[in-house]
Structure 1
Amino acid sequence: MQVNDQSEIAVAKSLNTAPELLTKLARHKDIKVRQAVAGNPHTPPYILFLLAEEFPQEFLHNPIFPTLDLENPELVIPGSSLQTILACEDAPQEWLHRFAISGYHYHLLGIVQNPQASKQVLQLAAENPSCDAFIHELIKMHVNIAGEMDSGWQEYAENKLPQIIEASFSNFSEVGCYGSSHSKGHYYQFILWQLGITPDLQLTKTSEYVQVAIVKFIDAPPAYLQQLLNIKINITTLIEVAKNKNTPIECLIKLAHHHSRVIREAAMRNPSLPRSIVNDFFQERFLATHPHTQVEKLRELCSSKWSFIRVRVARHPNLELSDLKILVQSADWRIRECVASHPRADFDILKQLTQDKSVRVRQAVALNSQTPPECLEQLSGDRNIFVRANIAKNPHTPLKNFTASLPQPR
C-alpha cells in the first residue's frame, strides 16, 4: 500500500473529517479507505447505506447506526444493501421483525439467510404476501426451524433440494421465478449453495450469472476461485476474481501478469497480493519506460516475469540489436510487433518478421522506414488489406509496389 493511501485511511477514520470529504473517499479505489468511511459516524447516512452492501459489519457497528430512523421518508436504503444487512448475523432483531412483515421478496431472502433469525421472525416471513414457494422451502430448512422437524433437517434437505434444483431449470414458478428470467433460477441455486445446503457446485456447468455471483461473494471459497481460472470465463468474471480477497496468492500473481491492463490492475490493488510484488512491478515499469535507462538494465528487463514489462522494453529506443534478436523469438506477438517497429531492427529481423503469422506484426514491418525494398515488395501482395494499406503509407515503398498495394477496381 502506498504512503498516501495510509494517510487517507487515517483521514477516513478521523472524527474531524468533513462529511463532504468522506463522501469523496467513499469512492476510493482502496478497499481499506472505503471500509474506514463505512465505520465513520460522520459519514452521511445515504453514503453509509451505499457502503453497507460491501461492509455490512462496519455499517452495523457504526456509532450512528442506532440513531437511524427507518420512519424517515428521506431515508432510502438500496435493495441490495438492505438484503445484505438483513442477512448479517449482527442485524438487529427489530429490523428482521419489521421487514419480515412489510418487506418484499429480496428482504425475505436476506432474512432467511440470517442464522440468527428467530422462529417468530421466520413465521412472520412465511405469512408475508411476498413469500413464495422458494422462500417457504428455505424457511423450513432454516437452522431455527430445522431442530423441530420430525423427519430431521438433513433428511428433509436431501429429499427436497433435488426438486428445487430441478425446478430452477424447468418450472420457474415452483421456486418463485415468475416470468422467463433464467437468472432468478440461477440466483436461487447460488443462494442454496451459499447457505451450505447443496452439494458443491459444478463450476463448468454453472451459468455466467452464478459464476459472477460466486466471485463477488465475500466469503467465496478460495478453491472455487482457483477453479474458475482453469475454465473459460469472461473478462468481467476474471476482474472480480482478481478483486476478491480470498483469491489464492498464486492466482493473484498469475492475474498480475495478465495481458489485460484492467485485470492486471485489479490484481495489483488486491490487498492479499504481497506489496513486495507490486513494488517490483512498478519499479520495473519505471525503468522500462524511462528514456535514460542503461542498456545493461534493459537487457535484464528483457527477461522480466511480466510480459507487460517485456513489451515496454521492446519499444525502448536504447535497446541494442543483440537484444532485439532475442526478443524477436518471443511467442508473444505484442513483443514481436514492437521489434518490427523498432528503428534498430536490421535486415535479418525484418525479413524474418515479413512472414510472421500475426497480421499486427506484418503491419508493423510494412510501416517501418528501415524495411528493405524486397520485404516491402513481398508485403505489397499480402492477403490482409491493412498490411497493404501500411505499404502504401511507407514513404520508402517503390512506386510499382505502392500501386500494387492499392485496392484493385472490380
Structure 2
Amino acid sequence: MHLTPEQQAADENTKPETLRILAKQNIELARLVAGNSNADPELLKDLAAREDDLILAGVTNNPNTPKDILLKLASKFPQEFLANPVINLLLIEKPNFYIEIPFWTLINLLKQDNLPQWLLLGAANLDNSAVLIAVAKHPQTSQNVLEQLAIKSKHDNALGLCIVKRKDLSERVLEKLVKYGTTSVRRYLASQIKTPPNILGKIAEHSELNWNDDIEIQTRIAKHPHTPTHVLEKLIGKGHSKAKKAIALRSNLSKKLIVRLAMDYRVHEMRFLAYNRYLSGDLLTELIQHPELRVRQMVVRHPNVPKNVLVQAVEVHQLRLFVAENPHTPAEILFQLTKESRGDVLKAVAENPNSPAFVLEKLSKNPLYDLLLVQHPSTSPEVMEKVLWRLAMNERLSVRKYVAQHPQTPLRILIQWVKTSPEVRREIAKNVSTPQHILEKLALSSWKKIRRNVAQNPNTPPFVLEKLASDRHLEVRQAVARNPNTPEHVLTELVRYSDLRLCIVKNPNTPPLVLEKLSEFHRYCTLVLEHPNTTKNIRLKILKILAESFIRKERLRAAQHPETPIDSLEKLVADEEIEVRKFAQRSLKVLYSSKKNHPDRS
C-alpha cells in the first residue's frame, strides 16, 4: 500500500533519511516529522532552529531530542518537556538532573499545574530563594517538602511568609515555622484565627531577639480567642504590660485568671480589669468575698459592680479610695466620702465624672482641689467663679496661664491682667470668652504669638481680622485664613498667596466664589470637592478633572463619588487599574438604575 507524504512523516517506521527529505518539503510535513520518534538527533537539532511553535513543541516532546536542545526549549514548552518520556531515563542516569535546568526555565516549570514529584523535590534542595518560593507556592508540594522549606526559611523571610500563608499546612510544618521561621512569620501566625492552640503556646515560649517584636507577638497571642489558659498564665508572669492589658480585656476570662490579674501589681496600678466590660455584676459580687485585698479593690473599682457592694465597701478603710474612683458610684456615696480625711480619696472624688455639683461644692472648701474642680463639667457657676478667683492669686505662672485661657474666668480678672500681667496676655488672646474690645487691643501687640492667638480666636471681630490679614508674619496671616470669622473679601484677597491657600480651603466658612478660585489649582481640588460650601457646578467640574488625572488615587476618588458624571464614569470603566474599574462599574450601575428618577443627570 502506497503511503502519502503525511502518513510517511507520521509513521514511526519511516527511515530517518526519508524523514529528513520530508521535513524539507513543507512546514506541515516538518511538524509531523518533529513528533516522530524515529527522527534522529541531528534532524531534530535542525528542526529546533525553525521558528514555528508547532515544530518546536514536537521537538520538545520527542524522546530523541538531545538534552541541551530539550533544556533550551523547556521554558517555552514546559508541558511538552515534562511529558517527554526521555526525562525518566535521564533521571535514572543522573538523579540530580534538575541542577542542569536553567534558572528561568525552572521557574517557568514550577508554575505549571501538574508537576512530577521529582521536580518539586529536586527544586526544594536548591538554595535559590525564588526557586524555593515557587516550590512553596505550588499546590502539589507535599507536607514533607514544606517541612524542609520551613527549616530553610530561617534566613529567608519571604519564603517563610509564603509557606505560612498556605491553607493546607500540617501542625508539623507550623512547628517548624515557629522554631526556624523569622519574626514576621511568628507575628503572622499569632494573629491568624485558624492558628491551633498548641502552636500559639509554642510561639509564646519563643523569645524574639528584638524586645519590641517580642512584646507585639505576646500581645497578639494574649488577644487570640483560642489561646489556652495555661499560656495566658505564662504571659501574665512574663511582665509585658501590653500583653497583660490584652488578657485583662478578654471576654472569656476565667475566675482563676481574673484573680491572677487582680493580684498583679502592674495590672492593679494601670486599672486594666476596670476596662473589661464583660465582668458581670454576679461575678463581681462573688469576688468581693475573696480573701485577697487587691481582688476586692478591683471589684469595687469596676463599673459593673452592684450598688449594694459599694454601700458595704465604703465602710472598709482599704476600699474607700477605689469606691471613690468608680465612675458609677452613686452621688450619695461620693458625698459620704467627702467627710474622709484622706487626701487621695478626696482627690478621687474630685476627679470622678459622676460627682454632682453639691459634692464638688463641698470639696471647694479645700484649695488643694481647685484645679480639679475647674476642669469638672458638673462644677456650678458659683463654685467655678470662686475657685478661679482663688487660682488667679496663685504664685505659679502655669496656674495663672491656665486661668487666663479658661472660658469661665471672670471678666474682671482678664481686664486687670491685660493691663498688669504681660506674661499671660498670650493665653488671654487664646481664650474664646475674651471680649472683642480686649482682643482688638491685643491685636496691636508687638508679640507675634499674641497676634497669632488673636487671629485664630473665633471671637475676634471681622474688622480686626482684616487688619491682621496684612501682618508681616506668615503664621499670623495663616491664622486669619483659617478663622471662620474672616470676611469673604479678605479671603478673596488672601487666596492670591500660595502659602495661605491650604488654610483657606480648610476654613469651614470659605464662600463658594473663593472655593471656585481654589479649584483652579489642581493640588486643592480634592479638598475643595469635600468642602461643605462647594456648589454642585464646582464639584462636577472637579470630578471631571479627577476622572482624567494621571494619579490613580484621584481617578479612584472620582470613580467612588456619587456625583461623578456618567460620561466620566464610562471612561473610568476602561481604566488600567482594576480597583478604579470596579468602583466605576459599581457607580454606573447605581446611576443607570436610578436614571428614570433623575432624567436630568448627565
TM-score of the two chains, using structure 2 as the length reference: 0.30
TM-score of the two chains, using structure 1 as the length reference: 0.41
Find the structure with the greater CA-based Rg: 2
Point out which structure has higher relative CO (alpha carbons under 8 A, 6+ apart). Answer: 1
